[in-house]
Amino acid sequence: MIIDGLSLIYPNGVKAIDKMSLNISQGIFGLLGPNGAGKSSLMKTLVGLQKPSSGQVLFNNVDIIRDPDHIKRTLGYLPQEFGVLPKANAFQLLEHLAILKGIKDKSFRKLHINYLLREVNLDQHASREVYTFSGGMRQRFGLAQALLGNPQFIVVDEPTAGLDPEERNRINGILSKIGQQRIVLLSTHLVEDVYQLCAEMAILHSGKLKITGSPKELIKALEGKIWARPAASDEAEIPDFSSVMIRKNFIGGESWITVFSENRPDGFQLQKPTLEDFYFCSIKNLI
């Protein structure tokens, strides 16, 4: 997928996407960015739910802004909010959605739905009403509906938000399998998930693309430049380091400050950089 000079201005004047250009290829592509960065706006635009103000998006060499039906035929989408679920069981709801997606052959439809329910570990719950599902089960159901029709491009918006570690691992396992044969665009606030799952990623901020690349390569640029030390309990502000401070966080109840610096600041220890360090450095314009 080639995104070229994409902009989206909402009717209230908010510029949610600002002249964005990006190439997304096979595998899981991670989108990171603070709240309001424009991740959902980008995703909704790519799946054809809203028209951009300007720019072009090519998928399989087809301009999907001009021909939105092309992407709709090869698209799966798991939105952030799944909306109100009708009183139907998992199989019935998938069958309804499959018909809407144009899967006409009844016997194929049944095989396909049963296959997808197995893929997301819900085959034991096919006849249970979806509104009774736990959060994790709903997200797995959401992935099954996104996979209806075997789409080549799947968009998933914060699929593991609010899930327990076991469910999060389960969803990530499903995503990793799905990403082997198609493009998966994954938006999340979990930096660690992007590090584990994505070969390529982008950081968005205020509607703009800040940086794109491979998580492992991006982190390399920070080697020898990330330093940390415990902060004194009364050390509320650290003016000396405010310009280079990445974050102040807690480890085992103890407060730590982490800074970006070419040279070792007094009292600081060198740290192995993480993708979270890179994320904060990027958002704070330190790199």
Ligand X SMILES: Nc1ncnc2c1ncn2[C@@H]1O[C@H](COP(=O)(O)OP(=O)(O)OP(=O)(O)O)[C@@H](O)[C@H]1O
Among residues 3, 29, 38, 139, which is the contact residue for ligand X, using CB under 6 A? 38
Q: Which residues pair with residue 249 across a beta bridge? A: 256
> If binding is defined by CB under 6 A, does position 205 make contact with ligand X?
no
> If binding is defined by CB under 6 A, does position 159 make contact with ligand X?
no
Which one of 10-18, 63-71, 121-129, 175-183 is the stretch in contact with ligand X (CB under 6 A)? 10-18
Residues in region 111-150 near ligand X by CB under 6 A: none
> If binding is defined by CB under 6 A, does position 12 make contact with ligand X?
yes
Among residues 22, 29, 41, 286, which is the contact residue for ligand X, using CB under 6 A? 41
Judged by beta carbon, residue 74 or residue 160, the one nearer ligand X is 160
Give the CB-side neighbour count of residue 2, counting CA atoms within 13 A: 7
Amino acid 187 reads S
3-state DSSP call for residue 70?
helix
DSSP conformation class of 85: P
How far is it, in rounded angstroms, from Cα 56 to Cα 37? 20
Among residues 1, 28, 32, 33, which is the contact residue for ligand X, using CB under 6 A? 33
Q: What's the Rg (C-alpha) of the chain?
A: 21
> If binding is defined by CB under 6 A, does position 170 make contact with ligand X?
no
Distant-in-sequence contacts of 80-89, Cβ < 8 A, 24+ apart = 80/40, 80/157, 80/158, 80/161, 82/138, 82/142, 85/130, 85/131, 85/138, 86/131, 87/129, 87/131, 88/129, 88/130, 89/126, 89/127, 89/128, 89/129, 89/130
How far is it, in rounded angstroms, from Cα 211 to Cα 279? 10
Among residues 35, 61, 127, 285, which is the contact residue for ligand X, using CB under 6 A? 35
How far is it, in rounded angstroms, from Cα 182 to Cα 193? 18
Judged by beta carbon, residue 43 or residue 120, the one nearer ligand X is 43
* Least distance in angstroms from the C-beta of 12 to ligand X: 5
Which one of 38-46, 51-59, 91-99, 100-108 is the stretch in contact with ligand X (CB under 6 A)? 38-46
Among residues 20, 39, 178, 286, which is the contact residue for ligand X, using CB under 6 A? 39
- Crossing angle (nearest 10°) for helices 135-146 and 90-100: 30
How far is it, in rounded angstroms, from Cα 285 to Cα 38? 18
Residues in the interface with ligand X (CB under 6 A) total 12
Judged by beta carbon, residue 86 or residue 162, the one nearer ligand X is 162
Among residues 3, 6, 37, 156, which is the contact residue for ligand X, using CB under 6 A? 37
Judged by beta carbon, residue 36 or residue 149, the one nearer ligand X is 36
Among residues 29, 30, 40, 200, which is the contact residue for ligand X, using CB under 6 A? 40
By CB under 6 A, name the binding residues for ligand X: 10, 12, 14, 16, 33, 35-41
